[in-house]
Structure 1
Amino acid sequence: MTLINLLSFSSGKTLATEDNQELMGQVQNYTEEFSETKPNDSVTQQIPVYQLDDVSPTDWAYSALLSLRDRYDCLSGYPDNTFRGNRPITRYEFAAALNACWQTLESFMAESQAELIQEDDLIVVERLIQDFQVEIANLKARIDGLGNRVDVLEAEQFSTTTKLNGQTIFAVNAGGFDGDRLIDPNGRELADENPQATLLYRVVFDFDTSFRGTDLLKLRVDTGSNGILDNATAILEPNFGSILDITRRPLRDDEFGIGRVFYSFQVVENLSLTVGPLIEALDYIDNNSYANLSFRDFSTANLVYNYVIFPMDAIGGGAILQWNPGGSAFNVRALYIAPDSANPTQNGQTPLPVSLFTSLLYSDGRGSRGLFGFHQGMVEFEYNPSSRFSLRLIYSGGRVFARRFDAVGVNFEWGFASKFAVFGRYGYSSYKDTDFGDINPNYWMAGVSGLDILQEGDRVGVAVGQPFIVNEIGNSTQTNLEVFYSYAVNDNISISPVFQAVFDSSNQESNDTIFTGTLRTVFYF
């Protein structure tokens, strides 16, 4: 029983039984003794407890409360570990102290320790409650009023807030290959010499605004070097995702641009909707705790997402619906994106934002633009019973260059120890009417990752994968390998050496192995 319902307790069944009437009378007589008018006494005239403005150390109520404190240790004092006793207190202070002692007695009774409470003390507490029932009622009303005001403030008085988050990436990259030359999937020469070392970068500013505390308006401004030309694997193997992903989403070539514009809000409990003209599918679908963010873990593009289920660099207009039924371990996400949604052109020749393998499959580059032309729809079912295990089933489909594609994928992660986890992805797809006919590319990747190995915040990972397994293109299957170690200098800076190897690049057996090394530095602010 708390302070706000002490009054109802005092008006209920009395604690005193007929056997205790004599003791109750003694308490009454004792109180009245100090309340009698004594004109000839030099001590200040006493008045009944319920008429006192303050309760002083000489009053019966004060003494009774101190006795309860001594026997039941029910008053802990002020935050500075002082009790500050032996001084007058207001009736409201007294009521609060009385409530604390009553809660202590009640806890004894709830824990079947009622034998520790003296019956006389229960009678005294009841008498004190009766004497201070006005203060208790007033406190109850004040607390109720305060609670209502807090509810109003939480519901209606949230002020619009914008928060800036930022990130800067610097990376030094160098790599090469043995042999005379490298060829692409069609047999054309890609390179006959090793590229020069490069210094690449990316800068991101996120402006996150909330109007109600439960919504989000995001505006991202970013810039960076040219992601398809600023690193060795982008030059030596551009078609099947060996490129460093950290500077290519989206491509900027040293110019500032808008990378995200969307608004997210809660429709009902456990159901949210995101809409906007610039949305990134990979922000929501096919996430993985150990192979997802190219600035934090693996940097090879085809190791941080399922390569065959994303035929386009899906940043465009659309919507995402996210549902967590009943707050359970299941999550459902449905997404629709049109990468060129702001362009009404029919069958235009301007470049479309597609993955490089898509341009390989459809060399004519034609297709309808707008919100319902070139598009991608995705559905993901996620089972996430704990922080150590997740399983995701994904469907992806739509139209690319006026042709139909469909794909399914599986994504899993399992933390089998406190610091180590295994993870992987698999994809199967169907692309119609390509330059190579109707094809069904497969994809897989797997890896192991360690967290906090040398110090808190460090990450290490090894992953291998085959991004585009198909008989119709080339005479082999490309295999990618990456090893990285991310060293956390502090909460805002990390440094990561990254090693890449590409075997049978471009699905061509004649291509010698490509090796690259990158030193990646990330600043968070």
Structure 2
Amino acid sequence: MSNNLWKSLLVNPVLLSATLTVSATIGIATAANASEIKADTTAPSASLDQLNAYSNEGVVSANDAGQVTSVSQLSDVRPTDWAFQALQSLVERYGCIAGYPDRTYRGNRALTRYEFAAGLNACLDRVNELIAASTADLVKKEDLATLQTLQEQFAAELATLRGRVDSLEARTTTLEKQQFSTTTKLQGEAIFSISGAQGDSKAVSSLLERRAAETGAAVARPDVDDNTTFSNRVRLSLRTSFTGQDTLLTRIQARNITDFAGAAGTNMADLSYEGGRTADNSAFVDKLFYRFPIGQGGAVTIDAINGEFYNNVNNFNPLLASDSQGSISRFGRFNPIYRQGASGSGSGAGVTLNYPLSQAFTVSLGYLADNGNDPTDKNGLFNGSNAALAQLAFKPSSNIDLGFTYVRSYDRLTGASVSSGTGSALSNNPFGNFINAGGVRGSAVSADHFGVQGSFKVTPGLVLSGWGGLTKAHAENRATNADATILNWAVGLAFPDLGGKGNMAGLIFGMPPKVTDSDLVVNGIRQEDEDTSFHLEGLYRLRLNDKISITPGIIVLFNPEHNNANDTVYVGTIRTTFSF
């Protein structure tokens, strides 16, 4: 019988795995059943009687418990159980497993030696019957002989395979012991940037131009800082998940990319990935948030450092919004309305909710405080610069995305950034050119921002996007109310996979934020941008492989600072992005 058992185990891996499983269970239960083992040695006749009782259990109680012919008849066995397939084969193919009278199997209960012997004996009897019968659809003696011959012929290969599996298991065990974390993944990105600005002279504010014209003074026009630069930005992101659906992101950044506003005389020349004149490649945690799902398809983001609405909600510029793979300019990424709430200090603490109302509509609500970690006067979560957002996104089809956005912002006196550094100096601080009642130049500013934006996938190779923004700003520190109206708009064309998979060409044309109307008059000069600047940008992203892309691009600023007297300014860059 033992020879037949070995051959049967070779033929049927399911039976082999079930037998090994039963054996393993016996090993675990050995200590618990020590008293039973001792009883076996002192009372052999009683043990044999008990063994016979167990062995006959499946036959004698067949009418009471009902001999199961399908594993589905066992009420406590589920397809997700780890031994389901083995049990199914033993029940449905061999018919040597019976359940308890209440139609349960109780697979998690400890196994006694008697139960093991009875179950094994029943299955062996059934296997012997099948071998003896040599039925056509089951095991034949000839098949056993063939399998035994194959096993002998491929003994060396089987031994090699066994060795490889053992080696793989050992390496996996080592990796699991030495890994950084079972819940955290490390992602990295590095940008190499060769950039430079060109033009006859730096841009000058239109207000200075008009003041000089009235007084007869000459306007100083220094040359553009046109030396070519080579700079970098590195980001390391630790993404941690505790449930498989949530994300805790901790990002470390270092960069030394020049602020081209200083080189060209206008914020309109800023690159999308630059960091300011003081950037010195010091590494620091520049972003920290926790995001988790809520309800059916909703998500909540809690920002602790550098929270930004454009990272938390849909900004409707899917192919050009990325600062490492999309637009090369700060203005060309998306409507400046999304930059409110984090004007530069890097705090940006707050919370954002995205929740689908239906398949077509999604509502977003958010609040960010620029200095939420500062307890001093005119700071903190609610008394410093802050912004609250409400947005309704409408997606009538897979090719069309529309968004209607409102943001209420407050910028304290020392941090006014109404247009978030994307337009003229006046649009950024529309009430900065007067002395208020406290003897301080400028004013704190509250503003209502309205945005309409969208994207349209015309063809798989052409995506049209664009936006329009209206800001109504109000000076908070004046006895006489002053208001200003600021407009901006842009249109973008993206050509994905142009010239190869992963490549992209892009064109962006628009008007950076401009003060079109103001109640404030200083020294007889109304604080408005009288002329109009236009932003033109072209880029082409060449993807060398999944990890490296090169993006040459150029920004052309016509009438920068909304001043016709300024020369055209050009900013060119070659951005190489490494993702790892």
TM bucket, shorter chain = 0.5 to 0.7
Higher normalized strand content (fraction of residues): 1
Alignment of 1:176-215 (within 5 A): 176-178=198-200, 182-187=203-208, 191-195=221-225, 196-215=227-246
- What does residue range 5-44 of structure 1 map to in structure 2 within 5 Å? 5=72
Structure 1 residues 512 and 268: alpha-carbon distance in aligned structure 2, compared to 1, 3 A threshold: same
Matched, 1:343 2:370: no
Deviation of residue 411 (structure 1)?
1.6
What's the TM-score once normalised by structure 2's chain length? 0.59
Cα deviations across residues 202-241 of structure 1 (Å, max 9, x unaligned)?
111101111121111111110111542xx3x5521433x4
The alignment-based identity, stated in percent, is 23
- Aligned counterparts, 1:383-394, within 5 A: 383-394=394-405
Could you tell me which residue of structure 2 aligns to residue 164 of structure 1? 186
Residue 86 of structure 1: aligned partner = 143
- Residue 136 of structure 2 corresponds to 63
Aligned to 2:417: none
User: Residues 389 and 413 of structure 1 are in contact (CA less than 8 Å); yes or no, is this contact kept in structure 2?
Assistant: yes
Which SS does the other structure have where 2:561 is aligned? helix
Which residue is 1:395 aligned to?
A: 406
2:467 to 411, 420, 425: 425
Aligned length: 373
Code of the residue aligned with 1:217 in structure 2: it is: L
Alignment of 1:374-453 (within 5 A): 374-401=385-412, 402-433=444-475, 437-453=482-498
Task: Give CA-to-partner distance per residue, 1:374-412, whole Å, 9 cap, x none.
Answer: 210112222235543211111111211243211111121
Deviation at 1:197, TM superposition (A): 1.4
**Structure 1 371/58 Cα, relative in aligned 2: closer, same or farther at 3 Å?**
same
Q: How far off its partner does 1:266 sit?
A: 2.2
Query: Structure 2: which amino acid aligns with 1:431?
Result: A
Alpha-carbon offset, residue 248 of structure 1: 2.7
Secondary structure in structure 1 of the residue aligned to 2:136: helix
The whole-number CA distance in structure 2 between the counterparts of 1:389 and 1:448 is: 14
Rounded to whole Å, the distance in 1 between the matches of 2:562 and 2:332 is: 17
The C-alpha deviation readout for 1:396-450, integer Å capped at 9, x for no partner, is: 1121124321111112111111111111011111100289941111111002111
- The CA deviation string for residues 439-467 of structure 1, in whole angstroms up to 9 with x for no partner, is 11111100211111111110110010101
More helix by share: 2
CA deviations 1:481-512 (Å, max 9, x no partner) are: 10000000110000011011000100101111
Tell me the C-alpha RMSD between the 2 structures: 3.2
1:473 aligns with 2:528: yes
Per-residue Cα deviation, 1:291-341 (whole angstroms, up to 9, x for no partner): 211211111111112125634545511011121246x23322211000111
Distance verdict in 2 for CA 1:191–1:518, change over 3 Å = farther
Give the Cα–Cα distance (whole angstroms) in 1 for the partners of residues 336 and 138 of structure 2: 74
Any idea what the Cα deviations from partners look like across 1:54-75, whole Å, max 9, x if unmatched?
A: 5646527x33569xxxxxxxxx
Change (3 A) 1:332 1:234: farther
1:504 aligned residue: 559
Query: Could you tell me how far 1:473 is from its partner in structure 2?
Result: 2.4
- Structure 2: distance between partners of 1:408 and 1:251: 33
Gaps of at least 5 residues in structure 1 are 9-47, 67-82, 89-158, 347-367
Q: Aligned to 1:416, what secondary structure does the other structure show?
A: strand
Alignment correspondent of 2:312: 284
Say yes or no: does 1:222 pair with 2:253.
yes
Which secondary structure does the structure 2 equivalent of 1:254 belong to?
A: coil
Secondary structure (helix, strand or coil) at the match of 1:63 reads coil
Residue type matched to 1:63 in 2?
A
Q: Which residue of 1 aligns with 2:286?
A: 259
CA displacement at 1:287 relative to structure 2: 4.5
Contact 1:250 1:259 in 2 (8 A): no
Query: What is the distance in 1 between the residues matched to 2:264 and 2:124?
Result: 91
**CA apart distance, 1:517:** 1.4
Q: Which range moved further: 241-250 or 395-404?
A: 241-250
User: Mapping of 1:32-181 within 5 angstroms?
Assistant: 52-54=126-128, 56=130, 59=133, 62-63=135-136, 86-87=143-144, 160-178=182-200
